[in-house]
Chains A and B, each alone.
Chain A
Amino acid sequence: MSIYKSAVEKPITTLMFFVAVLVLGVFSLIQLPIDLYPEIEPPYISVMTTYSGASAADIEVNVTKLIEDRLASVDKLKEITSSSYDNMSVVSLEFQWDANLDEAVSDVRNALDWVLDALPEAADRPNVFKFNTSMMPILFYSVTANSSYSGLEKILDQKVVNALNRIDGIGSVSMNGAPTRVVYVDMDQSKMDAYNLGVEQVGNVIKAENLDMPSGNVKMGTEDYQLRVEGEFDESVEIAELVVGSFGGKNIYLKDIATVRDTIKDLSFDQRVNGRQGITMIVTKQSGANTVKIAGAVRRELQKIAPTLPPDVKIEEIFDSSTFIRNSVSNLSETLMYEFIFVVVVVLFFLGRWRATLIIVITIPVSLLSAFIYLMMTGNSINIISLSSISIAIGMVVDDAIVVLENISRHVGRGSSPREASIYATNEVWLSVIATTLVIAAVFVPLTTISGMMGVMFKQLGWIVTIATVVSTVAAITIVPMLSSKFLKVRPANKRVMRFGYVNTVGRFLDVFDRAYGRLLGWCVTHKKVVVVLAAAVFALSFYVFGMVGSDYMPETDQGRVTVMIELQTGTRVEETMKTVRSFERLVAEKYPEVALTSAATGSNDQGGVSALFTTNGSHISNITFRLHERSQRKRDVFELAELMRADLKKYPEVINYNVSTADGGLMGGGSALQVEIFGYDFDKTNRVTADIRRRLDSIKGAENIQVSRKNDRPELKVRFDKEKLMRHGLNSATVSAYVRNRVDGMVAGKLREEGEEYDIIVRLNEDSRNTIRKLEEMTMLTPQGKQIRLRELGRVEEHWSPPNITRKRKERIVTIDVTPVGVPLGTIAQQIQAEINKVEIPPEVLVRIGGSYEDQQESFQSLILLLLLSILLVFIVMASQFESFSNPLVIMFSIPFSFSGSFLALYLTGTTMNLIAALGMVLLVGVVVKNGIVLVDYMNLMRDRGMKLNDAIVVSGRSRLRPVLMTALTTILGMLPMALSAGEGSEIWAPMGVAVIGGLTFSTMITLIIVPVMYAVVSKSGERDKARKVRKRFRFMDNLDSGNQN
């Protein structure tokens, strides 16, 4: 009992089976979380070690090197890089993508145990730090305020952060740049000198006065009282009234020698949103939680909270990753809908029958929903990768149903009853339907074996398309015959033909088209040489075109955000940096109406913590984020704006370095950065080479955002003690350095308690007494003998340049120059840079090479080519076994090169670069194109076996198969069209694939319809034409028989 026969004979079982698939699919669709990308665990582990007081060079030798050597042998390690800073060493390990990170972490820990003894004693224990996608913030808010600014932290903490933390799935809510309240006691140096007081004495007095002390129990009568001494300050004003000492018999009040300021902490950090002072609030989610859902919950919660906040506090959104997700998803859903409509229209156009169209279209939801079941079972999410894969599949899933239904309706048209026709017609084609599906699987299944970043993307694509096509094939040989047996009708022969009905309009047009094609084919098979030469010429021409198509790694996406890093001369004060930033902000506000929100962070923030690992900051650096209006509301895209901003920044003389970036360094949007890596131990030599290359890069057009990893030396003030003088006054370095710290940075003299919160009381010299080297040298401190002594008498304050940070890769010192190609393909720029590097005189111990995305691009293209070869081989295997022939698959494969020609042409005409996605599109083409060839060659074989002459068989088959070939090709082409044309969020990623597939398929379909029949004629000539004669030879012994009327 064959599957299609059972399906027709048990329609209810069949129907229920598919209803079950549909229900499960819809159920999965509702349950699946929505995210931007599939969940991935980037294989990076960092080891951080602090060693206070050591310079970068010390750290490199004593910490970094030891750790590197030990970790280099950890399993599955791909690359080891390190940075040695003053006081800190960071070793970053990149593992292979298939590595189990939990195992890797424990391996790293074990390896570190061996190092511990060898590390310097003062070094802290190394911390192992695993990067996780859930640490990526999903929401960025800016909070601005005017009069409530000083109390902002408390307000937010109580009203916002606590409320948000209660939302299910929230990882953390943190604030950046929040003002904290502090009580400053600013001492005047000369007055302290006059009263013979030191900062430490004053601090100790404040500490001693600020005290609550339980002092036992007192029994009085029948009661038992607790006794408490209460001396804590209720208000900061009290501090000023303290008596800190006496001089000449008179009390000295604190207010006599210092000013007490109850204010917010001095920051070397300035956070502004649209020019207003504010802070940023960052929300992260727990891993595996639904970003869209959480973002929605946070938004609702904030709306509820908003009225309870003081009126001047404004919470604005800087970045909401869910917006991009939602827009991409709805954009893709729209694409899917258009594709669906196109497919329906194509099928209806060619078949001209409502019922038949309906039956075919039913396979679309069935096979697509099965993809959701797969996503659900494997714990994936609805993301732009899975949705794109589905939209790639949509044009292919109808093909099998079309082939089956076409045959059934042919039988029905001949007068068979629908029920019988459904069974027998399906029987005729089911094997070739399965073969074409195997061909598709042969192309897509190898995709799932790719590992790494590409693998994340292609794994889902491979499985989804394979599963959808397999399910569609199952549907094509079960539910399609079943429905046909129920719904198709035998058309009465004498049915009145409507004047403007289908038969008289589209039908007639298609008939004319069939005949014209038949004539063309007839001419071609008799002029084979001309056709072959022409085809070869077209193919050669396409290679010439290919030479003009640029190559890139990954398409960049317009995420509606531009981030700008501005760097001034090292050592510039925050205030100065801010001036430049304000001026740039004003310029942007005037020039670019597209900018909806500006958020600038200037200076360094010591509270930044972990985030400081990812962004460079310093008092001379500002990071600015511009959020743009939605894509549909602006004409210019981010790339254009970024380009203009770069031009603007060039006009600021004080800006020595800038970086305008449109990507957020995310997964796929990583763009096409390129790195020139300069290996070498000697700082001077590598610096010289770096500077030379850096200068030459400026002359290359399109090389933007040039960043050198080794930063300039930093100016520093150093206090050098004269040890002998210290001894003479009974002091040592430790005490004096503590004294210096108390005077400059401040001494924490207890806390001011108010309404359950604690605020630091900081005693230090006032600004005026510590703002020149001279004044620093004039600082006084008390010797153990109670004598005043100036810093100048103990040592000198010197200006210094501190050495740069040291980065290493593969255990060698390295300098990298990052370059972002703008408007020029990555491959082109890499070649130009290589040419420039070749001109540079490089000392023998220095090695220069190009890495970054360029390296990835090369690697990826290589593995794609390998994949292509594998696919072609598998496709050949499938076809050879289907046809039981070596020559037929070869004939069909002649169409593959032409599909590439078409892709090159389309890429060239649309100005798209050859990137990874376009290349992937071309790999997919192999399957789709071959499918058309199979349909054609299969029928030609059939016609010849039925005794037709070669040329007749070719023409007849061509005419007969023209419609199915055009139909399956058109459904795929039009299915891809919305993808190629879409301009919404996230569309940039898949558009190149659309272009490549549409171009390749259009071109190759046209070529297939000519070249495959012609090649078939060429190949068949020698072998199969005289099959009959060969058979006759074997039966010579019957030669003398009366052969009847045929001779």
Chain B
Amino acid sequence: MKAVFIVFNQANTERVEFLLDYVGVRGFTWWESVQGRGTETGEPRRGTHTWPEMNSALLTVVPDDRVDAILEGIRKIDHINTEVGVKAFVWNIENGY
């Protein structure tokens, strides 16, 4: 079991939703409208007048074999236009109920 944390520009919402369905991931937790900014080049997403765009974030816990597919999908989404922005991070899940 791995946890995948995906943060993405809201403009990518539809694509991320499609990706999850496509790779067969059903469960997730979704935060609509979160703020953030990229470590190197990523523009801030602050929902202010200056930086009006916003991100959404989702956390999904998936079997290990799904992780690569998800990351590959995220890479493809990011490839369309890196400026829009999508990131995914993976870590281990110790246990769960």
Chain A residues within CB distance 8 Å of chain B: 411, 414-417, 419-421, 423-424, 427-428, 431, 941-942, 945-946
Secondary structure at the A interface, as helix, strand, loop or mixed, is: helix
Which residues of A are found within 8 Å of B50, using beta-carbon distances? 941-942, 945-946
Q: Residue B59 at the A interface, CB < 8 A? A: no
| A414-B81, A415-B80, A420-B14 known, 18 other contacts, Cβ within 8 Å | A414-B83, A414-B84, A415-B81, A416-B12, A416-B81, A416-B84, A417-B15, A419-B14, A420-B11, A420-B12, A423-B10, A424-B10, A428-B53, A431-B49, A941-B49, A941-B50, A945-B49, A945-B50
C-alpha spacing A695/B88, complex, angstroms: 96
For this complex, 14 residue pairs linking A to B, each with C-beta atoms less than 8 Å apart, are A411-B11, A415-B84, A416-B9, A419-B14, A420-B10, A420-B14, A421-B11, A424-B10, A424-B11, A427-B52, A945-B49, A945-B50, A946-B50, A946-B51
Q: Residue B60 at the A interface, CB < 8 A? A: no
Shortest distance in angstroms between A427's beta carbon and chain B's nearest beta carbon?
Answer: 7
C-alpha spacing A803/B6, complex, angstroms: 103
Q: Residue B35 at the A interface, CB < 8 A? A: no
Which residues of A are found within 8 Å of B84, using beta-carbon distances? 414-416
Shortest distance in angstroms between A884's beta carbon and chain B's nearest beta carbon?
Answer: 9
**B1-24 contact mask (Cβ, 8 Å, vs A): 1 or 0:** 000000001111111000000000
Which residues of A are found within 8 Å of B10, using beta-carbon distances? 420, 423-424
Which residues of B are found within 8 Å of A421, using beta-carbon distances? 11
CB proximity to A under 8 Å, residues B41-65: 49-54
C-alpha spacing A87/B21, complex, angstroms: 100
A424 and B53 contact, CB distance less than 8 A: yes
B83 and chain A: residue at smallest CB distance: A414
Which residues of B are found within 8 Å of A427, using beta-carbon distances? 52
Shortest distance in angstroms between A889's beta carbon and chain B's nearest beta carbon?
Answer: 16
B53 and chain A: residue at smallest CB distance: A424
B13 and chain A: residue at smallest CB distance: A420
Which residues of A are found within 8 Å of B13, using beta-carbon distances? 420
Shortest distance in angstroms between A542's beta carbon and chain B's nearest beta carbon?
Answer: 36
A882 and chain B: residue at smallest CB distance: B49
B11 and A417 contact, CB distance less than 8 A: yes
Shortest distance in angstroms between B18's beta carbon and chain A's nearest beta carbon?
Answer: 10
Closest 8 CB pairs of A and B: A415-B81, A416-B11, A945-B50, A428-B52, A415-B80, A420-B11, A414-B81, A417-B14
B18 and chain A: residue at smallest CB distance: A417
Which residues of A are found within 8 Å of B9, using beta-carbon distances? 416
How many residues on chain B are close to A (CB under 8 Å)?
Answer: 17
Interface centre among A420, A421, A431 (most CB of B within 10 A): A420
A419 and chain B: residue at smallest CB distance: B14
B43 and chain A: residue at smallest CB distance: A946
Which residues of B are found within 8 Å of A414, using beta-carbon distances? 11, 81, 83-84
C-alpha spacing A945/B52, complex, angstroms: 12
Which residues of A are found within 8 Å of B14, using beta-carbon distances? 417, 419-420
Shortest distance in angstroms between B22's beta carbon and chain A's nearest beta carbon?
Answer: 15
A417 and chain B: residue at smallest CB distance: B14
C-alpha spacing A419/B15, complex, angstroms: 11
C-alpha spacing A461/B10, complex, angstroms: 42
C-alpha spacing A459/B83, complex, angstroms: 50
A428 and chain B: residue at smallest CB distance: B52
Which residues of A are found within 8 Å of B11, using beta-carbon distances? 411, 414, 416-417, 420-421, 424
Shortest distance in angstroms between B16's beta carbon and chain A's nearest beta carbon?
Answer: 10
A421 and chain B: residue at smallest CB distance: B11
C-alpha spacing A420/B32, complex, angstroms: 13
C-alpha spacing A942/B46, complex, angstroms: 13
C-alpha spacing A415/B85, complex, angstroms: 11
Which residues of B are found within 8 Å of A424, using beta-carbon distances? 10-11, 53-54
Shortest distance in angstroms between A1045's beta carbon and chain B's nearest beta carbon?
Answer: 12
Which residues of B are found within 8 Å of A411, using beta-carbon distances? 11
C-alpha spacing A428/B11, complex, angstroms: 12
C-alpha spacing A421/B14, complex, angstroms: 11
Which residues of B are found within 8 Å of A419, using beta-carbon distances? 14
B54 and chain A: residue at smallest CB distance: A424
A942 and B80 contact, CB distance less than 8 A: no
Which residues of A are found within 8 Å of B83, using beta-carbon distances? 414
A490 and chain B: residue at smallest CB distance: B80
B10 and chain A: residue at smallest CB distance: A424
A943 and chain B: residue at smallest CB distance: B50
C-alpha spacing A942/B51, complex, angstroms: 8
C-alpha spacing A100/B11, complex, angstroms: 60
Which residues of B are found within 8 Å of A423, using beta-carbon distances? 10
C-alpha spacing A911/B12, complex, angstroms: 58
Which residues of A are found within 8 Å of B52, using beta-carbon distances? 427-428
Shortest distance in angstroms between A430's beta carbon and chain B's nearest beta carbon?
Answer: 10
C-alpha spacing A942/B83, complex, angstroms: 18
Shortest distance in angstroms between A8's beta carbon and chain B's nearest beta carbon?
Answer: 12
Interface centre among B10, B15, B49, B51 (most CB of A within 10 A): B49
A942 and chain B: residue at smallest CB distance: B50
Interface centre among A416, A941, A946 (most CB of B within 10 A): A416
Which residues of A are found within 8 Å of B80, using beta-carbon distances? 415
C-alpha spacing A941/B80, complex, angstroms: 30
- Are A942 and B49 also in contact (CB < 8 A) when A414-B84, A415-B81, A420-B10 are? yes
A431 and chain B: residue at smallest CB distance: B49
Shortest distance in angstroms between B63's beta carbon and chain A's nearest beta carbon?
Answer: 29
Which residues of B are found within 8 Å of A415, using beta-carbon distances? 80-81, 84
Shortest distance in angstroms between B34's beta carbon and chain A's nearest beta carbon?
Answer: 14
Shortest distance in angstroms between B48's beta carbon and chain A's nearest beta carbon?
Answer: 8
C-alpha spacing A457/B84, complex, angstroms: 51
Shortest distance in angstroms between B73's beta carbon and chain A's nearest beta carbon?
Answer: 15
Shortest distance in angstroms between B11's beta carbon and chain A's nearest beta carbon?
Answer: 4
A423 and chain B: residue at smallest CB distance: B10
C-alpha spacing A350/B65, complex, angstroms: 50
Shortest distance in angstroms between A954's beta carbon and chain B's nearest beta carbon?
Answer: 16
Shortest distance in angstroms between B71's beta carbon and chain A's nearest beta carbon?
Answer: 19
C-alpha spacing A411/B81, complex, angstroms: 11
C-alpha spacing A423/B33, complex, angstroms: 13
C-alpha spacing A421/B84, complex, angstroms: 11
C-alpha spacing A941/B53, complex, angstroms: 16
C-alpha spacing A125/B9, complex, angstroms: 86
A883 and chain B: residue at smallest CB distance: B49
Shortest distance in angstroms between B30's beta carbon and chain A's nearest beta carbon?
Answer: 15
Which residues of A are found within 8 Å of B15, using beta-carbon distances? 417
Shortest distance in angstroms between B10's beta carbon and chain A's nearest beta carbon?
Answer: 5
CB proximity to A under 8 Å, residues B67-82: 80-81
A416 and chain B: residue at smallest CB distance: B11
C-alpha spacing A946/B52, complex, angstroms: 11
C-alpha spacing A427/B15, complex, angstroms: 20
